[in-house]
Amino acid sequence: MEWVNFLGTNLAQLAGYLTDANKRLFWAYLLGALLLTLPLYLRQRQGGKSWWQLLFPAAVYRHRSVRHDVALLLLNKLLKAALFAPLLLTMVPVALATTELLEGLFGAPLHLGWSPWWVMTAFTLLLFVLDDFSRFLLHLLLHKIPLLWDYHKVHHSAPVLTPLTIYRSHPLESYLYACRMALSQGIAVGLGYFLFGTSLQVHEILGANVLVFVFNLLGSNLRHSHLWLSWGQWLEGWFISPAQHQLHHSSDPAHRDCNLGSALAIWDRAYGSLIKAHQAQPDTLQFGCGAAAGHDSVRGLYLQPLKDNALRLRRKWPAATR
């Protein structure tokens, strides 16, 4: 009955997402998103819709794509636990290698004599910035390298967006993001030790980095939704709004490589891929990859990227693939 215990453990962990401040579906983040929709409702209530109808339109939440999102959330959790957990890159060797590299380049660790509060503040910011930059960089590679785009297309194939769409990803992409997190955290810890010593702590709220907590509280769950929420032109030059991320999911090819950042807009601004909400027409916005073959079933979402990879390789090296 080991498989029963395995299944029960992983389902319990999924249910724990609602009470874990490090997960996007944490109850406070969902509540924050709900409160942010009130101004949208007050502006649109002249259409006769209730707040519930605005939040949960049947055309979105009864869509087949939502069932696919749920299926990938469940199946990927099981696959990660069963297959990928032993293969994941871990933070500790990355942190040790970073410290050794810095010592080789600059000599003994600095161990700056800052007060504990300033060390916590600097390390909190360092973790947040490195995490956000590494997300942008990996996201850019997923869009620009055709073999990786075949897998990332699973996420972009959703024709409707809900907060669960963040978990709509191919297992290979999830693996890359998990390794990215270990890499960015390891570099932050190694650099933090070199600068400040072993007393590394983070400003936290309910166990989450305070900056991550605030970002998630201020509408992160609306990024994957039908609700258009802009931060305004000035703020969207610094932070990616929900509306900007929805542009990223647009089926219009002109939008697909825009707004690659997670929280900070500075990376897109430097790369030249930033588009602000006022530059688009939300009423005409459609999501997805158009009529992307093979992404209309759970089986296809897992297998189509492999087929697309094989087709690309066959075109590039026909003799070798034969």
According to the model, what pLDDT value does residue 137 have? 98
Helices (H), 56-170: 58-61, 64-79, 91-106, 116-144, 146-156
Q: Is 210 exposed, middle or buried (0-12, 13-18, 19+ CB in 10 A)?
A: middle
Q: Is residue 29 part of a domain?
A: no
Q: Is residue 30 part of a domain?
A: no
* Domain of residue 97, residue span: 56-321
Q: Is residue 241 part of a domain?
A: yes
| Cα–Cα distance, 223 to 232 (Å, whole number) | 15
According to the model, what pLDDT value does residue 292 have? 57
Q: Determine the 3-state secondary structure of 250 from DSSP.
A: strand
Q: Is residue 25 part of a domain?
A: no
Q: Is residue 124 part of a domain?
A: yes
Please identify which residue in the block is written with the tokens 């007060």: 115
Q: Is residue 35 part of a domain?
A: no
* The total number of structural domains that make up the chain: 1
Which among 256, 233, 232, 234 is positioned nearest to 245, based on CA atoms? 256
R_g over Cα of the chain: 21
| Cα–Cα distance, 105 to 296 (Å, whole number) | 52
DSSP sequence for 253-295: HHHHTS---SSBSHHHHHHT----GGGS-GGG--BS-SS-TT-
Q: What are phi and psi of 158, to 5 degrees?
A: -70, 120
Which among 88, 67, 65, 75 is positioned nearest to 14, based on CA atoms? 75
CB atoms closer than 10 angstroms to residue 8: 11
Strands 204-205 and 208-209, sheet pairing: antiparallel
| End-to-end Cα spacing for the chain | 44
Q: Is residue 17 part of a domain?
A: no
Q: What are phi and psi of 288, to 5 degrees?
A: 110, -175
What CA–CA distances, in Å, run from 198 to 103, 178, 188, 203? 15, 25, 12, 16
Q: Is residue 76 part of a domain?
A: yes
Mean pLDDT in order along the chain per 10 residues (322 residues): 72 87 95 92 73 90 95 90 74 92 90 91 96 97 96 95 95 93 95 90 94 94 94 94 95 90 96 94 84 80 93 79 54
According to the model, what pLDDT value does residue 135 have? 97
For the chain, give me the number of helices (H) and strands (E)?
15, 2
86: which DSSP letter?
A: G
Query: Please, are residues 174 and 76 in contact by the beta-carbon 8 Å criterion?
Result: yes
According to the model, what pLDDT value does residue 209 have? 95
Query: Please, are residues 182 and 90 in contact by the beta-carbon 8 Å criterion?
Result: yes
The structure tokens listed for 152 are 């990332």
According to the model, what pLDDT value does residue 291 have? 54
82: which DSSP letter?
A: I
Beta bridge partners of 12: none
pTM of the model: 0.92
Nearest-5° Cα angle at 147, 144 to 150: 90
